[in-house]
Amino acid sequence: MTIHHSPIRWLLIVLCIAAGCAHKQADIRALELQTRITEGGLKLFELTFPMQSQPMTLPTGSERPPKKRPETNARQMQSMLDEVMEQSQYCRDGYVLLGRYAGETTRRLRGECKDRATDEDRQRFPDTVQRW
């Protein structure tokens, strides 16, 4: 039995992979990194994850209600935070996660960089955290 690898099959595989990568990039672009640098050079951040609303479906008859599955679990949020930090270079020596917060429309991760702010950091990263 011979398996034929048609060009259409390879095209479909490439398109599926590209769609997966595009979806991940869209998730990263939807995130909002807010920064705060104190007078003493402490670098704080808050990363906001918008939550998409999902239509509510009611069970009919003997159907079980659908289980709510979080859109973005803690591991995914951590992975996205790592990627944002790598891309932005805000926390060059790593960070300490200070808290996780979940609301109805957004989720947030707050943390503190292990490195202190430089003059360049102060120019590149304005204070955008509304309340700490």
Top pLDDT among 17 and 110 is at: 110
Helices (H), the chain: 7-30, 74-88, 119-124
Top pLDDT among 32 and 2 is at: 32
Q: Which residues contact 56 (CB under 8 A, 6 or more apart)?
A: none
CB 91 within 8 A of CB 115: yes
Main-chain dihedrals φ then ψ at residue 7, nearest 5 degrees = -60, -30
pLDDT at 35: 98
Q: pLDDT digit string (tens) for 4-40?
A: 444 443 333 433 344 444 444 446 778 999 999 999 9
Structural domains for the chain: 31-51+73-132 (3.30.30)
pLDDT confidence band for 65 (50 / 70 / 90): low
